[in-house]
Amino acid sequence: MAIKGTIIIDTELCKGCELCVLACPQKGLVLSDKINLKGYRVVELYMDNCTGCVNCALVCPDSAITVYREKKAQAV
């Protein structure tokens, strides 16, 4: 079973640049139709296949992404 992970996107920090979408090896992110208070369309996690690899957070220029990953002990 793949490592399970998830992310939280601070949508008020997101500027919809989609660099995280490009960086996600699972193709799990998408630019949504939701619009934040600054008027940017924001990215969301739409697939249930996140591994918590942190690639999206590393390339996020706006420090908008927090990443969580299942601990090995929990995965058993």
Partner 1 sequence: MEQFLINPDCMVYDNHPVTLTGEPYHYCPGCGHGVIHKVLMEVVRDLGIQEEVIGVAPVGCSVFAYHYMNVDMQEAAHGRASAVATAIKRVRPQNYVFSYQGDGDLAAIGTAETIHTVNRGENILMVFVNNAIYGMTGGQMAPTSLLGMKTSTSPYGRDAASMGNPIKITELLAQLPGAYYVARHAVHTPNAVRKLSKAFKNAFEYQKLNRGTCFIEVVSNCPSGWKMSPVQSIDWIEKNMLPMFPLGDIKVPDPKTGNPVMVKNN
Considering only residues 34 through 53, tell me which ones interact with partner 1, judged by CB under 8 A: 40, 45, 48, 50, 52-53
Considering only residues 13 through 32, tell me which ones interact with partner 1, judged by CB under 8 A: 13, 15-19, 21-23
Whether the CB-CB separation of 20 and 43 falls below 8 Å is answered with yes
Among 27, 28, 60, 76, binds partner 1 (CB under 8 A): 60
Helix (H, G, I), strand (E, B) or coil at 25: coil
Helix (H, G, I), strand (E, B) or coil at 20: helix
CA–CA dist 58, 37 (Å, integer): 24
Residues that bind partner 1 (CB under 8 A): 4-6, 8, 10, 12-13, 15-19, 21-23, 40, 45, 48, 50, 52-55, 57-71, 74
